[in-house]
Structure 1
Amino acid sequence: MSKPENTEIPGLDLADLRLKGFKVHAIPASTEVPVRAGRRDFYKMGFVDGDMTIDYGGRLLDIKGTVLFFVNPRVPHALVRRINRTSGYACIFTETFLNGRELQDSPLFRIGGNPVVALNAEQAIFMTSLFEKMLAVYESDYLYKGDLIRSSISLIIHEALRIQPAQATLTFRNGASRIAHLFTDLLERQFPIERSNEPLRLRSPHDYASHLTIHVNYLNRSVREITGRSTSAHIAARIIAEAKALLQHSDWSVAEISYALGFDYPAYFNNYFKRLTGSTPNSFRKV
């Protein structure tokens, strides 16, 4: 499978996005939809009208008519083909801009979930008004624009869930896509960690391969083919992300966090964390 083209999204200033945490813009008719750029470090929410096929994490999604489309940055995505010009709006935001748990818990952004919500004419009118309002506020000098846009994003997410869309027809390109999907879904289901006395069950490629009843070599080959990263790299990145969240947002001791993440001794966790982040857990917590 070819890798998504690393094309910039027209009109998107990445430095500005990271500074403010969000951006709202209209999709020019000649632009191929704001999911072409592939995997990045921010979430996307689009209101689009068109006829196209999207490769979303190895699954082919056929999008026809007016839809809402939600993109998880952990899922590689790319436009496969487009029949007609697309139009609409897009809202792009970092995980820190919106409540991270709200994003993680939402079926719309869940890995393996259905990110497409088809809209009827009445729903399309309502969503158009919401995105137009967000765009107007984004381009204004309103002091609390971030709060207003944050509320609008939450409203759109809840309205999309209320609509209860029919499941789109999803097709895996090949066996590797299916295995990579099963792995990433299983990886995400290990988190977040809620109790310090229940250690992480799956920590190595062998653990995941055994759980999926496949050979570890097949797992490693499939994951690298589809995502471009090794199985170990995915696991390490997710463990470090959870470690940072626990260090920042819990009162657990470093020893409790290390145990919860499956390390036998705090010293092992300290060395692991420092090797991957460049700082010790205690130093990170003090920042």
Structure 2
Amino acid sequence: MKEMESLEVFYRDKMGILPSDIFRRTGHFNVFTMEDYTGPKPAYPMPYSRKDYYKIALIKGAHTVEYADQTFEVQYNMLMFANPQIPYNWTPSSVQPVGAFCVFTEDYMKGFGSITDYPLYQPGGTPILDLNDEDAAKVMELFQRMFAEISSDYVYKYDVLRNQVFELIHVGLKLRPALTVKREVESNASNRIGSLFHELLERQFPIESTVQQVRLKTAGEFAGQLNVHINHLNRVLKNTVGKTTTQLISERLASEARALLKHTNWNIGEIAWCLGFDDTSNFIKFFKKQNLTTPHQFRS
């Protein structure tokens, strides 16, 4: 899988420009037509990768979309809600897709509600919608309003645009989802979900500050983030690496615990908290089970 695509790479490689306000403190937002993005000779399929920004895209025509370990077949028009946690790619049926999309950073939405509270962005949600032409036209009208607003001289236009992003999310919530079709062979799907698990696990490390804490620490939390059943994730990992989800998480936590005990002067409680243990005694029991010694003995 290709490395995560940054917003800077998106602009330089795909758009040929780098806006001066891309790194402003209040976050970044922009809106484009598909013609702006693809150019005269677009290449498909696009690389399967995560992006470090959010995207909402309306693209007319039939599509095949790979999102996490799922494949969506869109029959009419695609409305996609992509987030930085899940890799994806898409292939249109037409050579030159038509539509519009907006991109924005997490900072842009910070303090104005959380879009991750909505089902479109939650584990197990349906981020790919299949719209008929009438619904697609309504969504395109909203994008046209975005184009008009961003080109205006209104001082608070980015506040208006933020509201329009939420409006677009609510429009998506009211529309019908695309059907999920399992098209890949089992081995390819297993390899991909295994790769996603390891990527999510490793993204939490190394722990570099006592205010940094791992967010995903149980098999159920990883399965939810990957939009798969916990039994399926366990079966995939058992078949590919010979270990369960819990075993792999525990081994990685234990490895990080040893590194922190060895290379920092943090106390045991601080290390326990950073690794997701609210109770220090539970961390000590966990560490002893994994390493056959206590944290204090290991540090000594």
Over 3 Å counting, the alpha-carbon distance change for 1:34 and 1:24 in structure 2 is: farther
The answer to whether 1:161 aligns with 2:169 is: no
- Give the stretch that moved more between structures: 149-158 or 95-104: 95-104
Query: Which residue is 2:161 aligned to?
Result: 149
The answer to whether 1:10 aligns with 2:15 is: yes
Gaps in structure 2 of 5+ consecutive residues: 202-213, 224-229, 254-268, 284-300
Aligned pairs for 1:170-209 (under 5 A) are 170-171=182-183, 173-179=188-194, 183=197, 203=217
In structure 2, which of residues 17, 28, 31 is the aligned counterpart of residue 24 of structure 1? 31
Aligned pairs for 1:54-203 (under 5 A) are 54-80=65-91, 82-99=93-110, 102-171=114-183, 173-179=188-194, 183=197, 203=217
Over 3 Å counting, the alpha-carbon distance change for 1:141 and 1:164 in structure 2 is: same
Letter aligned with residue 23 of structure 1: N
Over 3 Å counting, the alpha-carbon distance change for 1:11 and 1:178 in structure 2 is: same
2:71 counterpart SS class: strand
Distance (whole Å) between structure 1 residues aligned to residue 20 and residue 47 of structure 2: 19
Distance (whole Å) between structure 1 residues aligned to residue 74 and residue 133 of structure 2: 16
1:96 counterpart SS class: helix
1:57–1:77 contact (8 Å) kept in structure 2: yes
2:129–2:172 contact (8 Å) kept in structure 1: yes
Distance (whole Å) between structure 1 residues aligned to residue 79 and residue 105 of structure 2: 18
1:127–1:156 contact (8 Å) kept in structure 2: yes
Gaps in structure 1 of 5+ consecutive residues: 188-199, 223-230, 237-253, 269-287
2:65 counterpart SS class: strand
Query: Which residue is 1:197 aligned to?
Result: none
1:45–1:69 contact (8 Å) kept in structure 2: yes
Distance (whole Å) between structure 1 residues aligned to residue 275 and residue 135 of structure 2: 44
Letter aligned with residue 117 of structure 1: L
> Which of 1 and 2 has greater Rg?
2
Distance (whole Å) between structure 1 residues aligned to residue 124 and residue 47 of structure 2: 19
The CA RMSD over aligned residues, in Å, is 4.5
Letter aligned with residue 123 of structure 1: D
1:55 counterpart SS class: strand
Distance (whole Å) between structure 1 residues aligned to residue 189 and residue 48 of structure 2: 22
Question: How far off its partner does 1:71 sit?
Answer: 0.6
Distance (whole Å) between structure 2 residues aligned to residue 89 and residue 169 of structure 1: 25
Q: TM-score, normalised by structure 1?
A: 0.60
Distance (whole Å) between structure 2 residues aligned to residue 36 and residue 83 of structure 1: 18
In structure 1, which of residues 223, 237, 261 is the aligned counterpart of residue 276 of structure 2? 261
Question: How far off its partner does 1:126 sit?
Answer: 1.4
Distance (whole Å) between structure 1 residues aligned to residue 76 and residue 101 of structure 2: 16
Deviations along 1:208-242, one digit per CA (max 9) or x if unpaired, are 79x644496656699xxxxxxxx76xx88xxxxxx
Over 3 Å counting, the alpha-carbon distance change for 1:27 and 1:158 in structure 2 is: same
Identity %: 26
Q: TM-score, normalised by structure 2?
A: 0.58
Equivalences, count: 225
Distance (whole Å) between structure 2 residues aligned to residue 169 and residue 36 of structure 1: 20
Letter aligned with residue 217 of structure 2: R
2:190–2:236 contact (8 Å) kept in structure 1: no
Letter aligned with residue 137 of structure 1: E
